[in-house]
Amino acid sequence: MRSVSFVLVVVAAIWISNYSSGLIHVCSSAESSAPKPAPWPHQFHSLLFVNYSGSLSLIDLWYDWTNGRNFNIIQNQLGKLLYDLEWNNGTSFFYTLDDNKECRSAQLDVGILRPNWLDGATYLGQRSFDGFLCNVWQKVDFIWYYEDVVTKRPVHWVFYTGRSIHVMTFEVGAALEDAKWQAPVYCFENKKPNEHPASEKSIVDIGFLEYISNGILREVI
Ligand SMILES: *[C@@H]1O[C@H](CO)[C@@H](O)[C@H](O)[C@H]1NC(C)=O
Ligand SMILES: *[C@@H]1O[C@H](CO)[C@@H](O)[C@H](O)[C@H]1NC(C)=O
């Protein structure tokens, strides 16, 4: 009787140890096999096709972590050309270079997106998008990010607002010359209070609101 229970205990112990090591094995292999998004290169140039509920635009994006700056040059379809210049010290300028000489600036607590800003994103699996097989991640209900499985280049991302970005070119290492990073002089002049009446929002004001939501994005992730 005593030896029978001893055998049972040994069998149970072996079974438990196999089962639990099996569990540990399953957990660790699930963690290591989930792909991680490639960090952004420290400098790159990208042409982005943007669709925001049917409003189309092209963005000339110059990401320059090396020099602590990021530039979105936004061409709205048959509309204004807008410049969104962001510095890593939290200062941003949003302006036009036409005769209206519009400019808004802002000071945020956060700088530009870090190269590893997608760290900690949740892996959602593989999907085909724009004709490319992609790994897909989601980051804090703000953004869904699609990366080409083979080349690891970003293909697409979409914000919670529905703003949908298609990456048309991705030139790693391309950098915009220093002279182009100068906000116009009227960004540094003191504005009279009536220059931006609340009743007639300028295109810069509207873009500026979008920029503020970008700032929220940067704060959250
Ligand atoms: C833009 O997105 C809308 C849906 O919001 C879609 O109906 C439309 O076909 C898209 N346009 C282009 C050019 O992709
Ligand atoms: C941040 O850097 C830009 C570019 O050098 C500069 O124009 C701006 O004044 C700086 N902002 C602060 C708060 O130092």
Q: What is the mean pLDDT of each run of 10 residues along the chain (221 residues)?
A: 47 46 44 88 98 96 98 95 95 94 90 94 98 96 96 96 95 98 93 55 74 76 72
Q: Is the CB of 54 under 6 A from ligand 1?
A: yes
Q: Is the CB of 173 under 6 A from ligand 1?
A: no
- Structural Rg of the chain based on CA atoms: 25
Residue 123 lies inside a defined structural domain of this protein: yes
Q: What is the pTM of this model?
A: 0.82
The ligand 1 atom at the shortest distance from the C-alpha of residue 162 is 5
Pick the residue whose CA is nearest to atom 8 on ligand 1.
Answer: 54
Residue 171 lies inside a defined structural domain of this protein: yes
Residue 33 lies inside a defined structural domain of this protein: no
Of 68, 67, 66, 62, the C-alpha closest to 83 is: 62
Residue 26 lies inside a defined structural domain of this protein: no
Residue 73 lies inside a defined structural domain of this protein: yes
3-state secondary structure 48-92: EEEEECCEEEEEEEEEECCCCEEEEEEEECCCCEEEEEEECCCEE
Q: Cβ–Cβ contacts within 10 Å for residue 11, how many?
A: 10
Residue 152 lies inside a defined structural domain of this protein: yes
Probe ligand 1: pick from 49, 51, 58, max atoms within 8 Å of CB? 51
Rounded CA separation 132/129 (Å): 5
Q: Which range marks the domain in which residue 180 is found?
A: 43-192+203-214
Ligand 2: distance of its center to the CA of 90 in Å?
8
What is the structure's pLDDT at 82? 95
Total number of domains constituting the chain? 1
Q: Is the CB of 199 under 6 A from ligand 1?
A: no
Residue 55 lies inside a defined structural domain of this protein: yes
CATH number of 175's domain: 2.50.20.30
Query: How many CA atoms within 13 Å lie on the side-chain side of 48?
Result: 24
Rounded CA separation 168/40 (Å): 16
Contact 84, 211 (CB under 8 A): yes
Residue 47 lies inside a defined structural domain of this protein: yes
